Amino acid sequence: MQELQVNLNERSYAIKIASGLLNNAGALLRGISGNDKIMLVSNPTVYTLYGSRTLDSLKSAGFIVHVALMPDGEAYKNMAETIKILDQGLACGLERGSMVAALGGGVVGDLAGFAAAIYQRGIDFVQFPTTLLAQVDSSVGGKAAVNHPRGKNLIGAFHQPRLVVIDTDTLNTLEERDYHSGLGEVFKYGIVNDKAFFVYLEEHGEQIAGRDKECLSHIIYQSCRIKSAVVAADEKEEGGRAVLNLGHTFGHAIEQLTGYGSYRHGEAVAMGTMAAVYLALDEGLLLKDEARRIKELYRKTGIPIVFPQLDPAAVYQAMLKDKKVVNGRLRLILPAGIGAFTIRDDCRREKILKAIVEAQKEEF
């Protein structure tokens, strides 16, 4: 088993990565909780695949478990579903010392974490991420939120998990689109955080596309390592943690304008990343060969990156509703060479619109 630590003083926690960890869920949680009550939040798809083994393990460790299922999909990451989860927590008698466990992808983890953050002013929760995107990104860092009709993740809190348990076996049943969505988050770490990791991704593109287990284990560990270090240095995104938002402001606009149903989150992030790449090219931050290498990495692994044919002006207006807007100015993360980044709030509207138009084309 590989293990990492997210160092946040009294809020520090471990990330455990291995095959078959859901079978040991009870023992792992018993190591951090003395309270017997747990609410296991999942969705029908994931629960059908992995619910029984998780539930059996928790019960064998002496936990009293209430299962709360939410519908599957980003469209259900909202306040209405949060209230339903809170109602079930009250009905099953969750206490201040009880725990919420999220078994699923990013939608389940975000909503369950947000419910835990506001239930009785905050109770413990743990993450059992079952998608690549959740394993490499959303389960780590304590961002818990739900969507509002006017923007993504506008209602939420910072609420760190007590533990993140990554069972790599859950990737065996992951649909191809969801796998690509996860890679969309993985690649950002190499593009703007770690040049050596980017080179590894370049050199192992075919193996990654084929879900080689050794490569998968490596990219999950490295992604969590990079994100853990960023979060430890800037827990509440007051500075450097913003680097993790590469492509997200563009991507969130795509998701909002298409009703949170047409694209997976990581797909929208990949498309948004390419818009950021075009903008960085125009701003003289990135060489054309570096942009080509980034695009080739996505192509090699089969990730769609052509920006949707949305009205660029509408995309720009949606971007202005993003959480990362400061004093009415768009705050964008742009690659500054491979493995480096810059934060810009002075990019002209015309250049942003031009980048969107360029990203809507097939080629440079």
User: Which CATH number belongs to the domain containing residue 37 in this structure?
Assistant: 3.40.50.1970
Mark whether 164 and 193 lie in a shared domain: no
Measured in whole angstroms, how far is the alpha carbon of residue 104 from the centre of its chain? 12
Residue, of 312 and 324, whose pLDDT is higher: 312
Mark whether 200 and 236 lie in a shared domain: yes
Is 237 catalytic? The answer is: yes
Distance from C-alpha of 1 to C-alpha of 16, rounded to nearest angstrom: 7
The answer to whether 135 touches 141, Cβ cutoff 8 Å, is no
Q: Which of 147-161, 173-187, 248-262, 321-335 has the lowest mean pLDDT?
A: 321-335
Q: Considering the domain boundaries, does residue 274 fall inside one? A: yes
Statement: residue 151 has pLDDT above 80: yes
What pLDDT, on the 0 to 100 scale, is given for residue 236? 84
Mark whether 67 and 102 lie in a shared domain: yes
The answer to whether 140 touches 6, Cβ cutoff 8 Å, is yes
**Is the four-CA dihedral 182, 285, 234, 348 of positive or negative sign?**
negative
The one catalytic residue in 235, 237, 267, 283 is: 237
The one catalytic residue in 265, 324, 331, 344 is: 265
Q: Considering the domain boundaries, does residue 364 fall inside one? A: no
pLDDT band at 186 (very low <50, low <70, confident <90, very high): very high
Is 299 catalytic? The answer is: no
Residues 6+ apart with CB under 8 A from 176: 302
The one catalytic residue in 162, 218, 241, 264 is: 241
Output phi, psi for 348, to 5 deg: -70, 145
Distance from C-alpha of 356 to C-alpha of 282, rounded to nearest angstrom: 12
Statement: residue 364 has pLDDT above 70: no
3-class secondary structure, 229: helix
Q: Considering the domain boundaries, does residue 42 fall inside one? A: yes
Please name which of 101, 118, 132 lies closest in space to residue 17, comparing C-alpha atoms.
132
Mark whether 33 and 164 lie in a shared domain: yes
Q: Which of 18-27, 54-63, 247-256, 325-334 has the lowest mean pLDDT?
A: 325-334
Q: Considering the domain boundaries, does residue 238 fall inside one? A: yes
Distance from C-alpha of 191 to C-alpha of 336, rounded to nearest angstrom: 9
When mean pLDDT is compared over 114-123, 235-244, 299-308, 315-324, the highest value belongs to 114-123
The one catalytic residue in 9, 121, 238, 363 is: 121
Please name which of 243, 228, 266, 273 lies closest in space to residue 340, comparing C-alpha atoms.
243
pLDDT band at 215 (very low <50, low <70, confident <90, very high): very high
Mark whether 91 and 227 lie in a shared domain: no
Is 143 catalytic? The answer is: yes
Mark whether 192 and 89 lie in a shared domain: no
Is 96 catalytic? The answer is: no
Q: Which of 132, 148, 173 corresponds to the end of one domain?
A: 173
Is 245 catalytic? The answer is: yes
Mark whether 306 and 206 lie in a shared domain: yes
Q: What is the mean pLDDT of residues 17-46?
A: 95
Q: Which of 220-229, 237-246, 247-256 has the lowest mean pLDDT?
A: 237-246
Percent of the chain residues topping a pLDDT of 70: 99
Mark whether 189 and 157 lie in a shared domain: no
The one catalytic residue in 77, 159, 180, 227 is: 227
Mark whether 14 and 135 lie in a shared domain: yes
Q: Which of 149, 173, 197 corresponds to the end of one domain?
A: 173
Mark whether 211 and 328 lie in a shared domain: yes
Is 290 catalytic? The answer is: no
Statement: residue 118 has pLDDT above 60: yes
Q: What is the pLDDT of residues 40-59, one digit of tens each?
A: 999 999 999 999 999 999 99
Mark whether 163 and 182 lie in a shared domain: no
Is 265 catalytic? The answer is: yes
Q: Which of 173, 206, 236 corresponds to the end of one domain?
A: 173
The one catalytic residue in 37, 162, 245, 267 is: 245
Q: What is the pLDDT of residues 194-209, one digit of tens each?
A: 999 999 999 999 999 9
Average pLDDT, the chain: 94
What would the 3-class secondary structure string for 261-299 be?
CCCCHHHHHHHHHHHHHHHHHHCCCCCHHHHHHHHHHHH
Q: Considering the domain boundaries, does residue 150 fall inside one? A: yes
The one catalytic residue in 147, 153, 159, 185 is: 185
What pLDDT, on the 0 to 100 scale, is given for residue 363? 63
User: Which CATH number belongs to the domain containing residue 202 in this structure?
Assistant: 1.20.1090.10
Is 300 catalytic? The answer is: no
The one catalytic residue in 248, 264, 324, 344 is: 248
Distance from C-alpha of 97 to C-alpha of 213, rounded to nearest angstrom: 38
Mark whether 91 and 183 lie in a shared domain: no
- Number of domains the chain is built from: 2
Q: Considering the domain boundaries, does residue 275 fall inside one? A: yes
Statement: residue 324 has pLDDT above 80: no
Structural domain of 192? 176-359
What pLDDT, on the 0 to 100 scale, is given for residue 261? 86
Q: What is the mean pLDDT of residues 85-96?
A: 96
The answer to whether 360 touches 309, Cβ cutoff 8 Å, is yes
